[in-house]
Structure 1
């Protein structure tokens, strides 16, 4: 697919990307079986966030704080606070906490952008609801914005975190509150119900996500809002008034069709939006930080912060 607002970054995936995809394919996926999700998640023991690597305290300046009862970890460059502040919402289908694979991505992001990065360790389903998560996300934003100002703030996140990135911006816009200067969704979950039939064409290439399992999680997370509510499913929002958006999306990911649809919709609404696609990229490919594609993504994030 080629449009004025989409860009395929490389003609073919790198060898390291292929290797990373193969490694992921050998691990059981938390999102690969709808029946398992439906029966096991409601009765499970609450999983814990993966601990931050100990060497972060040597490499960076780290702050631990709380907002609305939610723990937040802020990672500053060792040289001092960055020019930009990124709030990063981790993925996990809204039912998994911070994965250990997220921490190397945070490390690479701080090094590549020079930004300070705050990571809210938000509550997940079924122990939590979107009501609480929304309030927590907004409280984090308010506290950071009070110190940094909106014009040097960006929201970023992968998968469900990409959903939260857009949802928070939409809620703040609708409430007449200030907005960040940039939105950076990674492999975002844009439709809780995965209605686009084109997603099925990508399913056989996706080694992580099962459409039916995603729908189960989406119904739980949307709750009494319903899956078509624009804040639950930003694909159905009116994007007008949102800040500039850069979307990063792998082509071996069932979220690809919705990313394309949202980028087109945002551009039509007058929101400067760019969709960067990576051939062979699995879901949240940028977490494969040893790949050319991940490094390229973070270079583009830095460019987007600096130049819009």
Structure 2
């Protein structure tokens, strides 16, 4: 599905990004490296105050790292989302993520578990994926298969797809829904369309993404499926959903998974929004509210499927 109408609010956000030259963070290597230091220096602060005030928040640990579960204070549904945040594998979770979780819980009554996975450059892919697997085991032990939804944005979407593929390959039950928001699915960054997309993107840039890929991959080839889960067989993964905007350098990844699913006969719910930027689903704009309703339907239907 391709949506072409762009709201005035979204256009204003796009103009603000260009006016403030936010792209320089990813386009200039020194700025990008400083952004990593600044983000990681803040450490784990957990859910923001409004989330702690409105919901029940439980903190557990996996390998000594925090893992937060957020639930309605009363009632709630059995449906449970395991969410991996974006940030190019080098940046901490942001306030917009927590606000998005709050809106999703308000809308569906679900629970959301958020593992705060280790970041590059101090931690690289094998360690991060091992942590993710153990976090998933704890998540799976507390939920029924028909109630599990795995979701992520950007790098977190890459983690989500890599996890679902690994579960399938091991013969374990896969989540009923895997939802990928502005997904980063190929760390080789070799798609020929990406230089042109880079020019249109007001936020991300190939320079910073390639550096993040280098820091996270370490000695692994970037074609490794843990790094680039786009490659290979995409069948048997449960329901797949992708959201992307056309002013996102990662649009190439999204369109490629759409093409591969079509070629392999794999059902994919694909949503491309004209004029939208990277991870716009987390922003406070009308298009994000529409997507929230659609994602809420996905969360709701995962329970219906088990009947």
TM over 0.5: yes
Q: Deviations over 1:226-266 (max 9, x none)?
A: 11112211221321221111101011101112101112212
Greater CA drift, 265-274 or 255-264 = 265-274
* Distance in 2 (alpha carbons) for counterparts of 1:103 and 1:69: 21
CA drift at 1:47: 4.2
| Residues 185 and 230, structure 2, Cα contact 8 Å, conserved in 1 | yes
* Distance in 2 (alpha carbons) for counterparts of 1:258 and 1:147: 33
Residue 227 of structure 1, aligned match among 217, 222, 225: 222
* Distance in 1 (alpha carbons) for counterparts of 2:223 and 2:162: 13
> What is the SS of the residue equivalent to 2:254?
helix
CA drift at 1:118: 0.8
| Residues 64 and 74, structure 1, Cα contact 8 Å, conserved in 2 | yes
Does 2:14 align with 1:21? yes
Residue 186 of structure 2, aligned match among 184, 188, 191: 191
Q: Deviations over 1:79-113 (max 9, x none)?
A: 33433111111100000111122221111121233
* Distance in 1 (alpha carbons) for counterparts of 2:120 and 2:81: 24
Q: What are the ranges of 5 or more consecutive residues in structure 2 without an aligned counterpart?
A: 303-307
Q: What are the ranges of 5 or more consecutive residues in structure 1 without an aligned counterpart?
A: 1-6
* Distance in 1 (alpha carbons) for counterparts of 2:156 and 2:230: 15
For 1:83-94, what aligned pairs fall within 5 Å after superposition? Answer: 83-94=78-89
Q: Aligned residue for 2:305?
A: none
CA drift at 1:50: 4.9
* Distance in 2 (alpha carbons) for counterparts of 1:18 and 1:44: 27
Q: Aligned residue for 1:117?
A: 112
| Residues 245 and 274, structure 1, Cα contact 8 Å, conserved in 2 | yes
Residue 283 of structure 1, aligned match among 239, 261, 278: 278
Residues 45, 283 of structure 1: alpha-carbon distance in 2 compared, 3 angstrom cutoff: closer
Greater CA drift, 113-122 or 32-41 = 32-41
Does 2:151 align with 1:151? no
* Distance in 2 (alpha carbons) for counterparts of 1:237 and 1:33: 33
| Residues 84 and 114, structure 2, Cα contact 8 Å, conserved in 1 | yes
- Count the aligned residue pairs: 300
CA drift at 1:37: 3.8
- Give the TM-score of the pair, scaled to structure 2: 0.90
CA drift at 1:182: 0.7
Residue 300 of structure 1, aligned match among 270, 280, 294: 294
Q: Aligned residue for 2:158?
A: 163
Q: Give the RMSD, CA atoms, in angstroms.
A: 2.2
> What is the SS of the residue equivalent to 2:230?
helix
- Give the TM-score of the pair, scaled to structure 1: 0.90
For 1:41-52, what aligned pairs fall within 5 Å after superposition? Answer: 46-52=41-47
| Residues 60 and 78, structure 1, Cα contact 8 Å, conserved in 2 | yes
> What is the SS of the residue equivalent to 1:235?
coil
* Distance in 1 (alpha carbons) for counterparts of 2:244 and 2:211: 23
| Residues 76 and 82, structure 1, Cα contact 8 Å, conserved in 2 | no
| Residues 92 and 98, structure 1, Cα contact 8 Å, conserved in 2 | yes
* Distance in 2 (alpha carbons) for counterparts of 1:87 and 1:65: 14
For 1:7-156, what aligned pairs fall within 5 Å after superposition? Answer: 7-9=1-3, 11-25=4-18, 26=20, 28-29=22-23, 30-37=25-32, 46-156=41-151
CA drift at 1:45: 6.4
Residues 282, 210 of structure 1: alpha-carbon distance in 2 compared, 3 angstrom cutoff: same
CA drift at 1:139: 1.3
CA drift at 1:219: 2.3
